[in-house]
Amino acid sequence: MELNLRKGDKVWVEDRDLAWVAGDVLDSLGNKVHVETSTGKQVFVSSEKLFRRDPDEEEHNGVDDMTKLTYLHEAGVLYNLQRRYALNDIYTYTGSILIAVNPFKKLPHLYNGYMMEQYRGAPFGELSPHVFAVAEVAYRAMIDDSRSQSILVSGESGAGKTETTKLIMQYLTYVGGRAADDNRSVEQQVLESNPLLEAFGNAKTVRNDNSSRFGKFVEIQFDANGRISGAAIRTYLLERSRVVRITDPERNYHCFYQLCASGSDAEKYKLSNPHQFHYLNQSKTYDLEGVSNAEEYKNTRRAMDIVGISNDEQEGIFRTLAAILHLGNVEFSSGKEHDSSVVKDHESRNHLQMAADLFRCDANLLLASLCTRSILTREGTIIKALDCNAAVTSRDALAKTVYARLFDWLVDKINKSVGQDPNSHFQIGVLDIYGFECFKSNSFEQFCINFANEKLQLHFNEHVFRMEQDEYRKEEINWSFIEFIDNQDVVDLIEKKPIGVIALLDEACMFPRSTHESFSMKLFHNFKIHPRLEKTKFSETDFTLSHYAGKVTYQTETFLDKNRDYTIVEHCNLLSSSRCPFVAGLFASTPEESARSSYKFSSVSSRFKQQLQALMETLSKTEPHYVRCVKPNTRNRPQNFENLSVLHQLRCGGVLEAVRISLAGYPTRRSYSDFVDRFGLLAPEFMDESNDEQALTEKILRKLGLGNYQLGRTKVFLRAGQIGILDFRRTEVLDASAKLIQRRLRTFVAHQNFIAARACAISIQAYCRGCLSRNAYAARRNAAAAVLVQKHARRWLSRCAYVKLVSATLVIQSCIRADSARLKFAHQKEYRAASLIQARWRMHKFRTAFRHRQSSIIAIQCCWRQKLAKREFRKLRQAANEAGSLRLAKTKLEKRLEDLEWRLQLEKRLRTSGEEAKSGEITKLQKTLESFSLKLDAARLATINESNKNAVLQKQLDISMKEKAAAERELNGMVELQKDNTSLKNSMNFLEKKNLALEKELLSAKTNCNNTLQKLKEADNRCSDLQTSVQSLEEKLSHLENENHVLRQKTLSISPERLGRVLGESPQQKHSSAVVPAQIDRTSVFETPTPSKRIMPFSHSHSESRRSKFTAEKNVEIHELLSRCIKENLGFSDDKPLAACVIYKCLLHWHAFESESTSIFNIIIEGINEALKGGDENSVLPYWLSNSSALLCLLQRNLRTNSFLNASAQRSGRAAYAVKSPFKINGPDDGVPHIEARYPAMLFKQHLTACVEKIYGLIRDNLKKELSSLLGLCIQAPKASRGTAGKSSRSPNGVGVPQQFPSSQWENILKFLDSLMSRLRENHVPSFFIRKIVTQVFSFINLSLFNSLLLRRECCTFSNGEYVKSGITELEKWISRVTEEFSGTSWHELSFIRQAVGFLVIHQKRKKSLDEISKDLCPALTIRQIYRISTLYWDDKYGTQSVSSEVVSQMRILVDKDSSQKLTSNSFLLDDDMSIPFSAEDMDKAIPVLDPSEIEPPKFVSEYICAQSLVKKPSSASVSKQIL
């Protein structure tokens, strides 16, 4: 294609290493163009070898659909895939074809359940490209069109075909929804069979370590309702020749190597290292990197168990594999006769014997079947010996036949395990088949594989062309003249009869003496002028075919041998008679014998052709969908994109062929809005005339003189090259505009320079005038300064004379004043000295008199004190004789000790009686108390002993006193008194010391007693704590016992229907569980019937029947009352739900909570469920949320669980004085009476809790459904009209105010929220529930908007960010308007979308670092989410760029690191919270207390006898409280 290029144009240049590189045109010289490439090279290239490059594509991160490329060619396709792959966007559309690039790493965030939910029901192309989107299109087309579908997954080895197939089946199972009978989905069963099929059908090739050597077509079968009903696996084109012949570095099938590494199983079959077997040692590659054959063997055995293969069948499978390996080691040598063969050596004979043992057949017969052939003639059977080569061929034929039948048996077994549905209405088939192959050496296998890909490519081309036609037909444009070229000639060359490559090959194989040379000569003779077949230059037998993906040269040396596939009758007869049932089952159907030979010739290529034809017929009955898998590099490394390899795969996968077909028609398609946005500047005079974009597009094209374009309904279709002309004209306009801007800028700069020069001249003139003025001013200032100096000089001289005179006068005056002051001071000094002497003398006289008087006073005081001391001494002596004070102290001490002992004994009795069953710690404390009491007893005894000693001393003192008295009479006066006084003082001191010692002991005893009391208090506190903990444990145990009892009764209980059927003869037993009013004997109604009560005396049968009849009538009345309360909307009284209060008062009045068996609670629950099903959900659900929550709170606050242990003790007749149960549950001490609830009441409370949660969940789910449709319109800004769009502000600095479009969608959201609040408040739903509902609604808004933002690239734009931000501002106003009481944390729930939108609308993103973005702008977002937004963002308003490439690289490293760490969730999407955000306890705490006694029942309640007391008696509420 000839391009009109000029300097500065962006082009693609072909490169030997990189396929295509970007370049800029430096100059155009005729047909040669001077281009500078991005690698820095400058080359001269012909213009025909260049492709135009979109100058704006570097600002974007690629397009998700390559039909949107401005220039659709292979360079643009390759570059677009490379850009998206670098951003981990591995999926890209080409129309309806999906291209999947293997990332070679885990991307779990792309395949979780939430992602499948996002693509479920989404139109194709609305969300980002994904394999789920293709599966969704196939499923919806099957449902809508009632036609089976097929998904063709192709690509070379290692491109990810198998994984893509798994994902497709996973999604189909998700939307199909039916599980298998054994609780395993069909997808799981199919995937569980993959390890088995991979072990027996996959092998290592040159490019892939796990290449599928067969084609797999998985049919997912559906019923008429679109539910999965079964599945089937069809296999095609197994490479049988690989069993006997491989090349280095390839391997045989994995199962052989796994069996050799199986350990004990390998020894059982006499297997060892793979290099010892001929079928495995033809290649030196025995192990795969990172794969353990032993572990894979275990996985294969596990897969066999899952599929349902029995142990005997597994034994037969591996026995057969081992026999094949041993059979390959049997070698032959020439026999004694001509053209005969025998076993070569002893080792070969051992292998033959081992193979026969494993096949469970006779070794001699096996040898005979290998070395001879039977020919049937009219005269009889002729046995013909085979030479060595024929024997080897026979051996290999047997090995291939056995392995092929084993593989077919496995596939049939898997299909039986999965479960096929022969009555299925539709199918979705997933084809996983090997891709186009082109190696250095290409043999018969590559020929067959490429032939299959040619057929599939022909089908693909027809589909692509049909899609093009559908697109043109949909847009209502003329397309009849489009010429379509396909690869039908290549397909005819290969398969057409009677002269085709396959036909000639079969003909050559029919003749025993044919060689590959003769086959090649015949091939070249018949197709010497065919343009698709060529003869190679350096070989006489090789030929080259021009496939759709390129030329491939085939070596024909082994074509004939590999095409011959003999089915030998002797082999089949021998193995069908095997003693091993499994081997005999493989050859159950013996082929018919030939009339002349035991050989059954079968052409591999013909059978291949037939299977391929059957596959194409299957595909032609379905609507195809295509997934092209691409392997980005040959080293299987992530983030490595090899351009040449990918380009080759794009050619082999037919992607570039689809591009060629598109180029043949109208390759460039633009919506009218996009076309006008890009090329409207070419005709600005039309922009303000009309808002019709189609008319504007036509006017623009007419003005430019372009023809041969087509205007569709929504798009404009341009021929190849026309978009280049438009871009060229657009570039000219932009260049002219740039020149105009430059000219105006230069004018502006010159004008600014002139203004600056003029301003400088004015400044210089002003400065000169200023200098002259300053000089004149200086002269005048000097003259004025001289006059001033003279004036100041004269004043200074006069002042100096005056100051001198004043100073002399002051000196004279100071001398005179000093003389007079000195005289006055001397006089005052003499007067002060005289006064001081007089004062000292008077002080001496007074001090002498004071000392004399003081000594006299002291002498008098001493005498008086001596007299008082003598009196005190006599008193002390008398007190010592009596010892009264000491006894008083002892008495007080004993009383206190006795008091302590009494208290200790009392504490011991209290602790002993209450704590016998408690822990050993209290026992230790009691022992400590006893030890302290013993110490106190010892202290008391010591005190008594001391008192006794004091008594003895007192007696001795009395005796000594008498003796001293006698001595006093004998002695004289003062000497005897002094001696007596001395002895008394000594005894007094001794007694005082003793007293002090006793006081110290008393203090120590008090201290010990205080310590003991303190420890007792601590023990008491610990005992109280233990009691509290034991009480809590008792409560928990009681709850567990209650639940256990509830479950036990629930298990053993019989439903009322079954009880009625068992005892249906007696009407009194039929209604034994009914509820009657309180006036009737409750014991006969609510108690659980016992056998003694069921056997009634005959005399009372008549009265009992009347009672049961009355009971039945009352039951009907109760049922009617409750049904009416539930079905009718009773409304609210003083903001309190009337229905809940009436039902609770009725239950309380009928003592239903205390009954052991009643059906009234079932009536209430069933009635509520029925009420929820009918009526308007918008009014019914809030009404019953208010009523059921109020009734649940009343039950939660007033019911108490009954102690089942006490109840059982009472039923068993235990005495009243039995041991008190520690599991008795007492209600909270809050002054509210509690009801001892029985099992039905507690079960009713659980059912009511579930009912409240169900109603809340229904309200939440309904709100989400209504919001989903509204939010789908709020995520993307509507298109503005052309007239206003052209006049909007375009300031990238944000100075201009962005235009505010009418936000009718956000107004709908606000109206929806207002209606929600009005409905909830009209039904008086507690603010607790409103807060929870509003919070979850805003959480869903945040989730939906944020996930849509990350899934749709058109939403990550600057203008769309402004639009969503304005809507969030409206939501913020609404939240502030409804107050925090009802909104709760709703504003915080929008944190993700707020930060994401804030990031979209900021300017200068390239200047932001990763820390600023992650910590300041988007702290709530993960690095993966920021990375996703950054790569999807594009500025559709100002043309600014996203974050810098350095920040993107840093984020990519962090994302890859997170993926390698295998975190629990690597998804960038938010998960929906489906949990119930409250419990019954939360409701009890949050909802205000409700008093049902204040509620007046409705009037119709008085119509029922069973509830008249609720209306007649005004004090019924107080009576019920007393009963409670």
Catalytic residue set: 157-158, 162, 208, 211-212, 435, 437
DSSP bridge pairs for 927: none
Residue with tokens 């080409």: 94
Q: Does the bond joining 1240 to the residue before it have cis omega, within 30 degrees of 0?
A: no
Burial of 136 (0-12, 13-18, 19+ CB in 10 A): buried
DSSP letter at 1416? I
Distance in angstroms (rounded) separating the CA atoms of residues 1009 and 1013 = 6
Please enumerate in sequence order all residues whose Cβ is within 8 A of that of 693, keeping only pairs 6 or more positions apart, or say none: 672, 673, 675, 676, 1282
The tokens for 1197 are 């606050």
Distance in angstroms (rounded) separating the CA atoms of residues 254 and 611 = 25
Distance in angstroms (rounded) separating the CA atoms of residues 269 and 373 = 29
State residue 1095 phi and psi, 5-degree precision: -85, 95
How far the first Cα of the chain sits from its last, in Å, is 98
State residue 1035 phi and psi, 5-degree precision: -65, -45
Distance in angstroms (rounded) separating the CA atoms of residues 397 and 680 = 72
Please enumerate in sequence order all residues whose Cβ is within 8 A of that of 1326, keeping only pairs 6 or more positions apart, or say none: 1186, 1189, 1486, 1487, 1488
Contact between 354 and 326 under an 8 Å Cβ cutoff? The reply is yes
The tokens for 1494 are 């204040």
State residue 363 phi and psi, 5-degree precision: -65, -35
Measured CA to CA in angstroms, residue 246 lies from 275, 278, 805, 1055 at distances of 13, 10, 140, 71
What residue ranges in 583-684 does DSSP mark as E strands?
A: 599-603, 623-630, 668-671
Annotate 228-265 with b (16+ C-beta within 10 A) or e (fewer): bbbbbbbbbbbbbbbbbbbeeeebbbbbbbbbbbbeeb
The tokens for 1069 are 């037993």
Please enumerate in sequence order all residues whose Cβ is within 8 A of that of 529, keeping only pairs 6 or more positions apart, or say none: none
Return the C-alpha torsion angle 653, 656, 657, 661, nearest 10: 150
Distance in angstroms (rounded) separating the CA atoms of residues 545 and 543 = 7
Residues 1406-1414: contacts with CB under 8 Å, at least 24 apart: 1406/1441, 1406/1442, 1406/1443, 1406/1444, 1407/1444, 1408/1443, 1408/1447, 1409/1447, 1410/1447, 1410/1450, 1410/1451, 1413/1443, 1413/1447
Please enumerate in sequence order all residues whose Cβ is within 8 A of that of 163, keeping only pairs 6 or more positions apart, or say none: none
Helix (H) or strand (E) holding 26: strand 19-29
Please enumerate in sequence order all residues whose Cβ is within 8 A of that of 67, keeping only pairs 6 or more positions apart, or say none: 93, 94, 95, 662, 667, 669
Distance in angstroms (rounded) separating the CA atoms of residues 509 and 369 = 22
Best CA proximity match to 926, nearest among 1023, 837, 850, 860: 1023
Measured CA to CA in angstroms, residue 695 lies from 666, 675, 1417 at distances of 20, 12, 44
Distance in angstroms (rounded) separating the CA atoms of residues 627 and 140 = 17
Q: 3-class DSSP state for residue 943?
A: helix
Q: What is the distance, to the nearest Å, from the Cα of residue 446 to the centroid of all Cα atoms in its chain?
A: 45
Best CA proximity match to 462, nearest among 480, 488, 492, 482: 488
Measured CA to CA in angstroms, residue 1001 lies from 880, 903, 1008 at distances of 22, 21, 10
